[in-house]
Amino acid sequence: PAGARSYTFALSEDAGSLMAVSHAPDAPPHPSTLGPADTELVAVSCDQKAVVVAHRTDADKQVRLTVCGHRGRCSPMPLPQFAGVGGTPGPALDLARVDGSTILSLPMNGIVRVTSTRDDGQTWTPFTVAYDDAAHAEPRVDARVPTRLLAVGKRVFLYGAAVKPGQSYSVLSSDDLGASWRSPDVAPTPVAAFK
């Protein structure tokens, strides 16, 4: 669409850094340093305001978040902490960016927890359980546990990561930036299966 913004990733001219590059139809590309050249992208999502990247390096396997404003600089985004434990999410996380908010999902042992921030990580909502596999004995799908996030407009989907064409997978949706989840059909049932 007219005025659409986008982001790409490229190495710097000296190949020493990974750059996040902002694109817009009315301006030249704008690069900003994301990290060293060996930065591994774990998850990426963007909206019209910024791109958020979960990443790690060979030297430091700890997942980190960075937010790069459109035509702005890249800045570290603090990760949420697990209450009472002090740990941070690892590489199984996924994220979605919607209207300036970042939503993060973290699957652990068949339970998927979700948190969000509206101020680029300065504060995070408490982790809530979006899906507990033990509570869903009936769905017969190939990818049972919905671990991946996808933003479509202002709706966010949490879905199972099917690895082969034709596999079925669980799907939940949220219209309140991840605060609550439901089946994407009309009736508010806990899980739906798609193929």
Query: 7-24: per-residue pLDDT in tens?
Result: 999 999 999 999 999 999
Q: What is the percent of the chain where pLDDT is above 90? A: 65
The Cα 43–Cα 89 span in angstroms is 12
Q: Is pLDDT of 130 > 70?
A: yes
pLDDT digit string, tens, across residues 51-109: 999 999 988 889 999 999 999 999 999 999 876 545 667 788 999 999 999 999 999 88
pLDDT tens-digit readout, 31-52: 999 999 999 999 999 998 999 9
Tokens of 33: 């340093």
Distance of CA 169 to the CA centre of its chain: 18
Taking CA atoms, 158 is separated from 3, 114, 152, 182, in Å, by: 28, 10, 11, 10
**Integer Cα distance of 98 and 49 in angstroms:** 9
CA distance 57 to 192: 36
